[in-house]
Amino acid sequence: MVKTRIIPSQPALILEDIQRFLVVTDLHIGFEIGMISNDINVRPEEIVEEIHLTLNSLIKSEKLDNLIILGDIKSGIDSISKIEWQTVPMFFEIGKKINTLVVPGNHDGNLAHLIPDYITMTGPSGLVIGDTLLTHGHVMPSENFSHVDKIIMGHLHPVYFQEGSVLDGQRLWVSIKTRKQNIFPSSKGEIEIIIMPSFNKYFYATHKHYHKKSISPILARIKEDYSAKIVTLDGSIIGDESILKNIV
């Protein structure tokens, strides 16, 4: 069985199998174009450098073998912006230091044009490690994955929004447990779905007032048949399934 461990105070987790994997999601490189158009002085190269510093620190401290990114590396959905042409290849320089796998998300249209040969890109359905499916979350998993007991996904950017609260705008972890039959009709038992926070800490600092809920066919399938735990990056449990619809 694959072991899953959330890294304290970080929007990242570790999978431990025969090898050890660092998993992150939703970088949205290129989102800075919205800040620049609003006269906010930001250098996209510096944000990529900051992402590199954080990832390299985690990789070194945890002695990790692989990096998995669960989609939305870039910000544009279908097109590639000038900023993305410049900074996405710059980000993928990290693949020279660690084996890097990319699961494409709904914002990764034409991403193949930006990926160097030393980066591995899977199909949008994701990849399976042991009993765990890693996917972006914007497509429904195939019955071919019905043997898994856990799904790790991004896409939904769980964030707490409540004006006046010290948690307003804070990124969150969500753990959902539901009947496996809801996801894979031919299966029985229970499955856990872990929804990861966005790795980009600036994304909702500037966009939270325009927050638009993403839609995942995975969550649509479970309807009201689930229990949930909502957790902050520092590990504090702040709610259950009763507030999930306000989070994702």
- Using one digit for the tens of pLDDT, what is the confidence trace for 16-30? 999 999 999 999 998
Task: Say what the pLDDT of residue 36 is.
Answer: 46
Alpha-carbon 238 to chain mean position: 20
- Per-residue pLDDT tens digits for 76-124: 788 888 889 999 999 999 999 999 999 999 999 899 999 999 999 999 9
Secondary structure element (H or E) that encloses residue 87, with its range: helix 82-91
**Residue 135 pLDDT more than 90?**
yes
Task: Say what the pLDDT of residue 32 is.
Answer: 64
CATH code given to domain 3-246? 3.60.21
User: What pTM was computed for the model?
Assistant: 0.93
- Per-residue pLDDT tens digits for 27-45: 999 876 555 444 445 677 8
Neighbours of 165 (CB within 10 A): 11
More confident residue, 169 or 41: 169
**Which amino acid, 79?**
S
Where are the domains positioned within the chain?
3-246
**Residue 189 pLDDT more than 60?**
yes
Q: Tokens 């950017």 belong to which residue?
A: 157
Task: Say what the pLDDT of residue 165 is.
Answer: 78
Q: Burial level of 202, CB count in 10 A (0-12/13-18/19+)?
A: middle
